[in-house]
Structure 1
Amino acid sequence: MIPVSLEIREARKDDARALSDLFIAFIGRESDIDKMQEKIEIISGLPNYHVVVACKDEHVIGTAMGIVCMDIVGNCNPYMLVENVVVSPIHQGKGIGKMLMKVLENNAAASNCNYIILASSDGREDAHRFYESIGYQGVKRGFIKRMKNQI
């Protein structure tokens, strides 16, 4: 059930503290608020970035980011990379993640993307079931290389 007072909108600079609080459950520590505010301000001016938040009674309870990436293969249409999909634990299972992903999917369609790609860490079975339930297919191979001094 989706809360009646739920709003999905683009993230704003003043959402940084609430986003950092959400990301603690995601990455296990606070984010740099000043850097986050700076990045949100930059991103808000870039048409290929979409950082959306779900707000209940004006409190951020979920977020997702989609980046439209240019491609040089086949028809050369872009694709979307999705990152940082997080819904607060007490609000999970209420359709909020589905709404956030739908907004990103609509942005991908409007940009004529060929596909949407995302990665989810091993062991996040609940997240994997969620993605599958909204039409995403798990793939057997994916690779990531963490850069020195990074998350």
Structure 2
Amino acid sequence: MEIKRMVKQDIPALAMLYKDFWNEDSSTELMERKFIELEEDSKYIFLSALEGNHLIGSLSGIICEELYGECKPFMLIENLVVDHKYRRKGAGKALMTEIEKIAIENNCYQILLITENDRTDAIAFYEYLGFNPNTHKGFKKSLKN
């Protein structure tokens, strides 16, 4: 298994991973356009986990700036997904290890992420990686637009 920066050619396979996980279609055309736009910004990091040429997992990281204290940045992780056939085989851990290295290289002082309350498997995974679920409470508000 190899962890590397995502390339545009990974997008169709990523759309399939999202479909498998969320049971929702994603427009590969829109995803490719947005990927091209965001990959120009060094604060957006898209990682791929590959088995041979097969995309088996991905995550997104965003370096956010802080405007208090020492004004150090932090990393926000979104959309960690691993093909169900490859779960519990190290892909998720490898992706998270790589994004943590990138966060440290960019002087981030913490990593934040959220997951749904009912995803006990994901919660246990994040706790195993050292994330503390008891320090903060996250909130989400869906917007209609």
Bucket of the pairwise TM-score, normalised by the shorter protein: over 0.9
Question: Deviations along 1:52-82, whole A, 9 cap, x unmatched?
Answer: 0101110100001110001102110001100
Corresponding residue of 1:20: 15
Q: Secondary structure at the match of 1:90?
A: helix
Return the letter of the residue paired with 1:119.
I
- Map 1:72-151 onto structure 2 (within 5 A): 72-139=67-134, 141-148=137-144
Name stretches of at least 5 consecutive residues in structure 1 with no aligned partner. Answer: 1-5
TM-score of the pair, normalised by structure 2: 0.95
**Length, aligned pairs only:** 144
Q: Secondary structure at the match of 2:67?
A: coil
CA RMSD of aligned residues (A): 1.1
Q: Give the stretch that moved more between structures: 140-149 or 97-106.
A: 140-149
Question: Deviations along 1:25-53, whole A, 9 cap, x unmatched?
Answer: 33221211111001111222111111001
- Map 1:34-45 onto structure 2 (within 5 A): 34-45=29-40
Question: Deviations along 1:4-40, whole A, 9 cap, x unmatched?
Answer: xx11111111111100111113322121111100111
- Percent same amino acid at aligned positions? 36
1:61 to 39, 48, 56: 56
**Shift >6 Å, 4+ stretches:** none
